[in-house]
Amino acid sequence: MPFPVFKYHPDPFKTKIFKRRDAAVVCPCCEKETFVTYEGPFYSVEEVENLCPGCIASGAAAKKFDGAFQDSESADEVSDPEKLEELTCRTPGYCGWQQEYWRAHCDDYCAFLGCVGWRELEEMGLTAEVSEDPGLDAWFKENLTGLSNGGSLQGYLFQCLHCGKHLLHIDCD
């Protein structure tokens, strides 16, 4: 079965939110064996592990366990409620230091590209662009050069699906 495409999380292996396993495990949603399992946040009453990518992409996991992969209150606002439903119920989340937050631009959610520090932003040539991000708190703007991937001040990089602009969410441990 082909791996599903996640519009708002285009490379979930790069971000390490899915894990390839040596031995098959059973997905608790579809009850089928899988060698690829979800390793990210899932907000539900039940403790759910080993979800397969297909059950996330279809929304079956969120429906069966009455859960979400992203807190709807921890995301920028967009006008179309279907986009919020896709983000929270059919998109793998990401792991942050504190509360994960999903950025939006051009009235749609952005694609999550991964964790970054200032060095990675320099290598990608994005320091000027993200420094002008109006969604960043003033303190974070003043301390952007202190971003360290895996450090105490962590950046999470997003890209607008429509205009290509890069945005950051930043939090601290």
Q: How far apart, in whole angstroms, are the C-alpha atoms of residue 110 and residue 112?
A: 6
For all residues of the chain together, what is the average pLDDT?
A: 96
Between 110 and 99, the higher pLDDT residue = 110
Q: Which two tokens stand for residue 135?
A: 């969604």
Q: What is the pTM of this model?
A: 0.95
Beta bridge partners of 104: 109
Q: pLDDT band for position 100 (50/70/90)?
A: very high
Q: What is the pLDDT of residues 30-56, one digit of tens each?
A: 999 999 999 999 999 999 999 999 999
- Helix or strand or coil: residue 85? helix
pLDDT at residue 14 greater than cutoff 80:
yes
Q: Which two tokens stand for residue 54?
A: 């297909």
Q: What is the pLDDT of residues 110-133, one digit of tens each?
A: 999 999 999 999 999 999 999 999
Q: How far apart, in whole angstroms, are the C-alpha atoms of residue 148 and residue 134?
A: 21
Q: Is 2 exposed, middle or buried (0-12, 13-18, 19+ CB in 10 A)?
A: exposed
